[in-house]
């Protein structure tokens, strides 16, 4: 695998993994009632996903311009990390919203 392709794959894996980790941390903050910190961690996860998405968009743009990207297990693995991170972050946002609602109801 050439250096450019490895950079793409590692960008997907690294940013996807960081995003999932931030989303997980957000859930932990919310469980502890630290909703401001949870929101900050979700924002950090969103930024990591933006970085990963930028890597993916660049790859898709090159593909559209006729520069074919060979698909191998590394690329599939990178895409898998990204898609799992997106799903995990979306579910974390919903879970945190529910925890906030429960906390509000308990405070009444």
Binding residues: 80
* C-beta separation of 74 from 10 below 8 A: no
Q: How far is it, in rounded angstroms, from Cα 33 to Cα 29?
A: 6
Q: How far is it, in rounded angstroms, from Cα 75 to Cα 10?
A: 9
Question: Phi first, then psi: what are they for 12, rounded to 5°?
Answer: -65, -45
* C-beta separation of 31 from 38 below 8 A: no
**Largest CA-CA distance found in the chain, in angstroms, rounded:** 60
Q: Which residues are annotated as a binding site for Mg(2+)?
A: 80
77 included as an active-site residue? yes
Give the residue carrying structure tokens 């050439």: 2
Q: Which of 15, 53, 68, 77 is catalytic?
A: 77
Question: Residues with catalytic annotation?
Answer: 77
């Amino acid at each position: 695998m050439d250096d450019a392709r490895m950079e793409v794959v590692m960008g997907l894996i690294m940013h996807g993994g960081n995003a999932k980790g931030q989303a997980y941390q957000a859930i932990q903050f919310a469980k502890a009632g630290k909703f401001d910190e949870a929101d900050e961690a979700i924002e950090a996860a969103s930024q990591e996903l933006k970085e990963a998405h930028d890597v993916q968009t660049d790859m898709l743009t090159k593909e559209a311009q006729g520069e074919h990207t060979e698909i191998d297990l590394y690329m599939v693995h990178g895409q898998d990390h990204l898609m799992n991170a997106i799903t995990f972050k979306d579910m974390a946002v919903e879970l945190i919203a529910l925890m906030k609602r429960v906390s509000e109801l308990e405070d009444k």
